[in-house]
Amino acid sequence: MTGLSAAEREQWRASVAAVAARCAAGGRWDALFDLGVAETGLEDLAVAIEECGAIPAASPLLGHMFGVRALHHTPASPERDRLLAAAIGGRHRVALVLPEGFALEGGAADTFVVAGPEPAIVAAHAVVRRALSTLDHTRPLWRVESPEPGALPELLRAELAALVAADSAGGARAVLEGAVQYARQRLQFGRPIGSFQAVKHRLADVSSLVDGAGAALGYALRRLDAGAPDAVLAASVAKLAAVDAYRASAEAAIQTYGGIGFTWEHPAHIYLKRAHTNGQLAGGAALHLALVADRAGIGPRT
């Protein structure tokens, strides 16, 4: 699936959202792959990741697509092509061992791709893995003892940064929409709390951040799909903007909800934890800020 029109992409978004909602309610996440989410270009894949990111449930899509995108960057071979075809269809789970030595969705992986200048394919039975205790319980991380991982190839890191930005944009949008709806309904002193300046101005400011992050993400995805010279720079900008918007949205939502926003039963805390987790995936803020400064020619002079 490539080159969708605007109307087709909205239909695609609605289809993915409906399937993801059913999966989160107890269905099988494999239904996402039946839609062909892994067969698309980055721009259409990002729509699927956004919709999964909007749901406070443990979707495996982001972690699996880390592995699939990494497979694309391994040396071509019949074995690689076989694994890629099985992974795209969702029949074979793949996880990427990041430079830090951990993997998203590492517990379900049948095959690992170990980060490095030339990523290597390693069978799951050839590694030792253990679950890690993490801040975000909906995004399981596994420590993987494998051949020593190295730095990610620049283009792969940019692709992963864009996917994290998509997940962040989806989460930011969802948690902000929930807070706005609550602010319209919750009455205090006989008036909706959204009519108070302290509430509505904060939510309006966050809405601007979310819109800006969406614009940065859309541009980055188009540049990556086109193989444009500024694609790496655009992906770093998108990730920085989307993660900042996600944190701001989650924090504003918790403040808007008041007491219930701090409870375990309310999903607001899940979005906040994801925002902080996403800030570290595919490179932290310091790495991407340095890359942006270098590409823009505003880094330190030597």
pLDDT digits 0-9 by tens, 169-185:
999 999 999 999 999 99
Mean per-residue pLDDT, 194-214: 96
Contact yes or no for 258/248 (Cβ under 8 A): no
CA-based radius of gyration for the chain: 19
Q: What is the pLDDT of residues 99-128, one digit of tens each?
A: 999 999 999 999 999 999 989 999 999 999
Contact yes or no for 103/112 (Cβ under 8 A): yes
CA distance 39 to 68: 10
Predicted pLDDT of residue 299: 67
With CA atoms as reference, report the closest residue to 189 among 179, 180, 199. Answer: 199
Across 133-254, where does the E strand assignment appear? 141-145, 187-188, 191-192
Q: What is the DSSP string of 235-295?
A: HHHHHHHHHHHHHHHHHHHHHHHGGGGGSSSSTHHHHHHHHHHHTTTTS-HHHHHHHHHHH
Ramachandran sector of residue 259 (left: φ over 0; alpha: ψ -120 to 50; beta: rest): alpha
Predicted pLDDT of residue 13: 95
Q: What is the pLDDT of residues 61-97, one digit of tens each?
A: 999 999 999 999 999 999 999 999 999 998 899 999 9
Predicted pLDDT of residue 302: 53
Predicted pLDDT of residue 285: 96
Mean per-residue pLDDT, 146-152: 92
Predicted pLDDT of residue 262: 80
CA distance 243 to 277: 9
CA distance 121 to 136: 27
The 10 Å Cβ neighbour count of residue 265 is 6
The whole-angstrom distance between residue 64's C-alpha and the CA centroid of its chain comes to 11
Count helices and strands (H / E) in the chain.
10, 8
CA distance 243 to 167: 9
